[in-house]
Amino acid sequence: MTSDKSRFARENLPGDPYAMLLHCANRWPDKEALVFDSTPQRLTFSQWLLASQTLACALRRRGIQPGSSVALWAENRIEWPIAQVAIAAIGAVLVPVNTHFREDDLLHVLDHSQSVAILLSARFRSSDYLSMTLDTRNRLPLLRDVICFDGPGLHAENCWSYAALMSEGPQLPFQAWPWSPRELASIQYTSGTTGRPKGAELCFEGMLMNARGTVARLAVTAEDRWTSIIPLFHCAGCIMNVLSALAAGATYVGVSAFEAERMLHLVEAERCTLLTGVPTSYLAMLEHPRRTQYDLGSLRAGTCGGADCDPALLERCASAFPIPGLVQVYGQTEASTLIALDSCESAQRFTTAGMPLPGMQVRVCDPDNGQVLACGETGQVQVRGPMVMLGYHRDPLETTRCIDLDGWMQTGDLGRVTADGRVELVGGRLRDMIIRGGENIYPVEVENLLRGHPAITEIAVFAMPDPFYGEVVAAAVELGGALSAAQVKQACAGKIAGFKHPSRVFKVSQWPMTSSGKILKRELKAQAMAMQLEELP
């Protein structure tokens, strides 16, 4: 891999989101680029470019420098991709914030990323983002500017209305920051071994290689209209969906929050051709009683990932929607989103995650000794290439644990590589990560919170299979007092995101242990599934 700009220069490809948008605006100025369902709101490529230039100039006037971290905390809305491009245009580092986060998670991400500004919605669902942010400012000495997408005006110091900033207009001609391909461009937070979100450092070379590889594999063109249930704070939302659409000149059709019939209506009304989802969302749409009342014939392809994919479910969706080119995909935030996906015509697209993207090397190793295994053998999936993250932000120890000296990154996932080179996942993970409806949950965070409950002597949190979410959070507790499942959830309320709350709680009097004294969570899960543990009411 070369360290200069040769990859993009040789191919004459735009090397960052602003350059990509400028290219699209020059080629298709009046073509619809963004559609969001809330109003609905619509922007052409030229309108998107002007809005991003205007916001970029406003950010510069507030003193935001190249290399500074800028957080973005909002549901899927039209301002999200405007801000995404504007942040890139001034050379700042994008820090997407999970819309489920509460104050503790927010404080960690803003502090750890050293964000100097945040753009946000005033609130989303039951979360008051603006109040939470203002309440944490006195603990964040680097956070200077708060820019709210909602409301006419704000009264706190250095707290700005988005509408007011946009009324200032751009400074033309606009000069964008000249990005280097391997320069830090985004810090994407994902759960880690400490239980706190870890920041995967991504560069535009990796992100755009991923987007362009996805476009090529799915045969995306400027005629496509791509919709997705994925939140834009996820790498799959802001990279696989938004940047891939930009790479092809396709239209991105956004939805603020997933609801099965709302999605069916959107596909019909907007004549969407591509759909991105997770098993939970596909199952909800497939089994919706009014699905057959909607004309979904515009769909030609789609992707499904984020949890263990049931080949039978994918095949049913492909036939029943119909969505003939539906494919299983496999990815990680640390790999700039996708690692592998198949073509829409492949006979193996339901049973495997397909071929690795161009530029992505995949191997399977013995998890105990690191020995490279032959095709067909099951072990830990490891990947290498320009799309692998630069490292974990401000965490060299975790980076060294994850990426070896030869550049191979441990994914923590169990899988195998078929004789023809396709990646096949076998559903297990070396680490204890729980994936509930596409959301990553690390048990340590829940355990640390609940271990302080006066009625809980010891706790172990683990995944239980669920037909709708794929997995749900379960907890086994040793009690020192009276406790109900409702009280466990109440102890979590307002402290961690709702999707992290245990949905099932079991009572344990004797823990299964390893010889070194560690709780065997796999044994707990087996006992719970065999109904050998008493479940709290």
d(CA 496, CA 104): 8
The verdict on 284 and 377 lying in the same domain is yes
* Domain count along the chain: 3
pLDDT for residue 515: 41
Within 398-487, strands assigned E span 409-417, 423-429, 434-436, 439-441, 456-466, 470-479
The verdict on 311 and 211 lying in the same domain is yes
Domain carrying residue 467 = 434-535
CB atoms within 10 A of CB 288: 16
Mark which of 179, 213, 244 sits at the end of a domain: 179
Classify residue 189: in a domain, yes or no: no
Do residues 131 and 219 lie in contact, with contact meaning Cβ atoms separated by under 8 Å? no
CATH number of domain containing 489: 3.30.300.30
Give the phi and the psi of residue 83 in degrees, each rounded to 5: -70, -40
Render each residue's pLDDT in the chain as its tens digit; 537 residues. 333 344 444 467 889 999 999 999 999 999 999 999 877 799 999 999 999 999 999 999 999 999 999 999 999 999 999 999 999 999 999 999 999 898 989 999 999 999 999 999 999 999 999 999 999 999 999 999 999 999 876 778 899 999 999 999 999 899 999 999 999 999 999 854 346 889 999 999 999 999 999 999 999 999 999 999 999 999 999 999 999 999 999 999 999 999 999 999 999 999 999 999 988 789 889 989 999 999 999 999 999 985 567 788 899 999 999 999 999 999 999 999 999 999 999 999 999 999 999 999 999 999 878 999 999 998 899 999 999 999 999 999 999 999 999 999 999 888 899 999 999 987 556 767 788 998 878 777 888 889 889 999 889 899 999 999 999 999 999 998 999 999 999 999 999 999 999 999 999 998 887 544 567 888 999 999 999 999 999
- CA distances 451 to 102, 436, 460, 476, 480, Å, are 19, 22, 9, 11, 11
3-class state of residue 231 by DSSP: coil
pLDDT for residue 250: 98
The verdict on 409 and 505 lying in the same domain is no
CATH number of domain containing 209: 3.40.50.12780
pLDDT for residue 120: 98
The verdict on 411 and 336 lying in the same domain is yes
The verdict on 342 and 387 lying in the same domain is yes
pLDDT for residue 1: 32
The verdict on 102 and 250 lying in the same domain is no
pLDDT for residue 308: 60
CB atoms within 10 A of CB 265: 16
Residues 6+ apart with CB under 8 A from 361: 383, 384, 385
Residue for token pair 């980076």: 399
- Look at the pTM and tell me if it is higher than 0.75: yes
d(CA 105, CA 98): 9
pLDDT for residue 392: 97
State which amino acid sits at residue 123. R
The verdict on 271 and 408 lying in the same domain is yes
The verdict on 163 and 310 lying in the same domain is no
CB atoms within 10 A of CB 517: 7
Give the residue among 312, 237, 304 at the shortest CA–CA distance from 277: 304
d(CA 449, CA 176): 45
The verdict on 418 and 444 lying in the same domain is no
Start-to-end C-alpha separation, the chain: 57
The verdict on 153 and 209 lying in the same domain is no
The verdict on 375 and 281 lying in the same domain is yes
The verdict on 243 and 286 lying in the same domain is yes
